[in-house]
Copies of this chain bind each other. A is one copy, B any other.
Amino acid sequence: MFFASDNSGPVHPRIMAALGDANSGFQMAYGADTLMGEVRQSLRDLFEAPGAAVYLVATGTAANALALATLANPWETVFCSPVAHIHEDECNAPEFYTGGAKLTLVGQADRMTPDALQAAIAAEETRGVHGPQRGPVSITQVTERGTVHSLDELRALTAVAREFSLPVHMDGARFANALVALGCSPAEMTWKAGIDAVSFGGTKNGCMGVEAVIFFDPDKSREFELRRKRAAQLFSKHRYLSAQMAGYLQDGLWLDMAGRANANCARLVAGLRAGGAEILHSPDANMVFAALPRHVHRRLQAAGAAYHLWGGQLEGEDENEPVAARFVCDWSIPEAAIDRFLGLVRG
């Protein structure tokens, strides 16, 4: 009953097998391995983007921070939601990697609205050189509250950015989960919707530690390579990043895992609803926030269920107040564990 995070489950056996397959003989280091050539081609094919620049790094924060540093000047501000991972969960890595750019928080929830984005961008650069300058827009898909932007919503946001000639980054730490939820193609969810660069996550979806950064306009690619090296994010034994990504993409494994994770979450949501828990945001992918009665929470804890309370502690609060909790499903959670958990919810 482990719903704490999708970075806590095991690596998929087929990805472990891909690592094993890659583990023989010598290979050129630092991204010159033959597997990387195949991975680059696979991702270009997958995204229908023959000229895209494709790089691998090992953490999602590295993918985001390097992508933003490539898109933003140090005197600019990045527009994102107030709960964006880049703002709340990266300990100022974007500020560090960009050399001191600012983050401007747009709106109140896990997704910017076009109007709020328009207003926020328009409000910058009204002071000449004195204020921060307008920089890239960053959209998280799946959002940090488990919701998924529709293609129309993405297009509406990127249209605002384009109006100001600003580039758009997508934090796709849960890219596969969003794609499965929307049932569209990778191209439709990215460049066809106005995205310029994407952090294409693997780690949260069954890999060991690999993320691709893809620029649909490859002009920035040489700079990215230098930024990656300078940031100590270029792996000497790069073939093991390549192998993970190759195994991930092979025969649609990435979509299978995301589909399973989303289905696990749907099962969980249905059961929580049936058990009377209030669902707090729209659980569009593999993550759900719910309000649990305190006695249910205690029962779950006593039984060893793992998940994070969200936005508060238990102590000293009203016993009649429910507690908000976040539940994340990965591909590996057995249905039986979900059902056991739901049984505990029902009491």
Contact = CB atoms under 8 A, between A and B. Distances in A.
Interface of A: 2, 4-5, 7-11, 16, 19-20, 23-30, 58-62, 65-66, 73-77, 88-93, 95-103, 105, 127-133, 203-204, 208-209, 223, 225-237, 240, 306
B100 A92 contact: yes
Given A99-B99, A102-B95, A237-B203, A23 B11 contact: yes
A7 B232 contact: no
Given A59-B236, A209-B237, A236-B7, A93 B231 contact: yes
A30 B23 CA distance: 26
Contact of A237 (B11, B65, B75): B11
Nearest to A65: B232
13 contacts: A4-B28, A7-B236, A8-B26, A26-B306, A58-B209, A58-B235, A73-B223, A75-B227, A90-B130, A92-B102, A96-B99, A129-B226, A209-B237
B102 A103 contact: yes
A91 B26 contact: no
Contacts of A75: 91-92, 226-227, 229-230
Contacts of A65: 232
Copies in the complex: 4
Contact of A8 (B20, B27, B89, B101): B27
A34 to B, nearest CB: 12
A116 to B, nearest CB: 15
A175 to B, nearest CB: 16
A229 B100 contact: no
B23 A10 contact: yes
A232 B28 contact: no
A40 B53 CA distance: 39
Contacts of A101: 92, 95
B209 A90 contact: no
Contact of A93 (B58, B66, B229): B229
Contacts of A16: 19-20, 23
Nearest to A240: B208
Contact of A74 (B25, B99, B105, B236): B99
Contacts of A230: 74-75, 90-93, 96, 100
Contacts of A233: 59, 62, 232
B8 A62 contact: no
A169 B59 CA distance: 26
